[in-house]
Amino acid sequence: MSAPAPPPPVTAEGMLPRGDQRIHWEESGTPDGVPTLYLHGGPGGRLTPGYRRNSPAGSARIIGLSQRGTGRSAPSAGAPGPVDLSAQTTGDLVADLEALRVHLGIEAWIVQGVSWGSTLALAYAQAHPDRALGLVLFAVTTTSRREVEWITEGVAALYPEAWDAFAALAETRAGFDRRDRSSQRLRLVEAYRRMVTAEDGTLVDEAVRAWMRWEDAHIGIGAGGPAAPHAVPEDGEVDEHARRFARLVTHYWAHDGFVADWAVPWGASPGSGLLGGMARLSGIPGVLIHGRRDVSGPALTAWELHRAWPGSELIVVEDEGHGGPRMAEHWRAAVARLVDASRPGPQ
């Protein structure tokens, strides 16, 4: 495998006003190149420079943004004290992307999404299929209830020691009962959502620590996973990024990604979510890249999307998990192919 090139420098950036929110965006690459949009993971992740090297800088206009409440966007969802997350829905994020497209004068773009970003990429493309030149989805998710239940409770079958510690805090501080199997039970993700948005700052930080330790436990399997651990060092303070991540991920996951009802107006069955809207992507090229060892997000979701998306390409890397160097190489190659296919021919 060839070593990735260093990320190209940022050539323009700004803050896009969106009501009470300000969305930070940046641009690199070639100003008159094929536009590519990068959507980071989380929810509650952040924009890191490495994404810029996954689009060909000589032929792509590379756009990235910090999703509302994250990174350099403001206000931060990780500020100490109570936060208002009422303007945090997938619909709000999709609207931000479309507003940014208009602001930058872009007709259509290639949309890339990593992990949660792949959910957002699918939601955007289903809402605005005429604005998507193609999609590249990496560590594929749709944030369905099935996926959320697996990543917060089902995967305990693989990490019982870590999950017991994770669940114990919710049992003692939020009323979660692991023995309750009824349909009315308190979900573990909801218990954590309540704790990380509580008014008690001590409880917030204790829950954030527990959530980030659990992230490290289940996401690290497979070669070349996340570049840095999520967990807050035992002797360190809970910082704004950790608080923001835990708040936003539990907020979105507790609401099944705010996508469960999106498919209904498009003629699909209620509750079918993004999978039910895949017909809207007919004719749009897509590449789905997933690691077989991704226990946090089993390959079933990527397979179901691929089957429902004629013309899409599914690449499963057998020996990697929620990311890895071979997956990243496939990512760069897929974006390069789509950029080449989208470039105007000779006049």
pLDDT at 237: 87
Determine the average pLDDT of the residues in 54-77: 97
From 40, 322, 330, 342, the catalytic residue: 322
Indicate the range of 1-15, 27-41, 195-209, 263-277 predicted with least confidence: 263-277
Per DSSP, the three-state class of 289 is strand
Determine the average pLDDT of the residues in 229-238: 69
From 230, 256, 294, 312, the catalytic residue: 294
**Mean pLDDT over all residues of the chain?**
91
- Greater confidence (316 vs 260) lies with 316
Decide if 294 is catalytic: yes
Residue 214 CB neighbours (<10 A): 26
From 66, 115, 118, 296, the catalytic residue: 115
Per-residue pLDDT tens over the stretch 176-233: 999 998 988 999 999 999 999 999 999 999 999 999 999 988 887 765 555 455 666 6
As given in the structure block, the two tokens for residue 75 are 């206000």
Percent pLDDT > 70 in the chain is: 90
Indicate the range of 112-121, 237-246, 267-276 predicted with least confidence: 267-276
| Alpha carbon distance 164, 161 (integer Å) | 5
| Alpha carbon distance 73, 21 (integer Å) | 8
Decide if 218 is catalytic: no
| Alpha carbon distance 335, 347 (integer Å) | 24
Instruction: Pinpoint the residues of the chain covered by CATH 3.40.50.1820.
Output: 10-145+259-342
**Which H or E element spans position 252?**
helix 240-254
pLDDT tier at 97, thresholds 50, 70, 90: very high
pTM score, two decimals? 0.94
In sequence order, the 6+-apart residues with CB closer than 8 A to the CB of 339 are: 33, 34, 36, 55, 56, 59, 60, 110
Per-residue pLDDT tens over the stretch 287-336: 999 999 999 999 999 999 999 999 999 999 999 999 999 999 999 999 99
Decide if 322 is catalytic: yes
pLDDT at 235: 60
| Alpha carbon distance 153, 341 (integer Å) | 42
- Answer yes or no: are the C-beta atoms of 250 and 85 closer than 8 Å: no
Query: Which fold would CATH assign to domain 10-145+259-342?
Result: Rossmann fold (3.40.50)
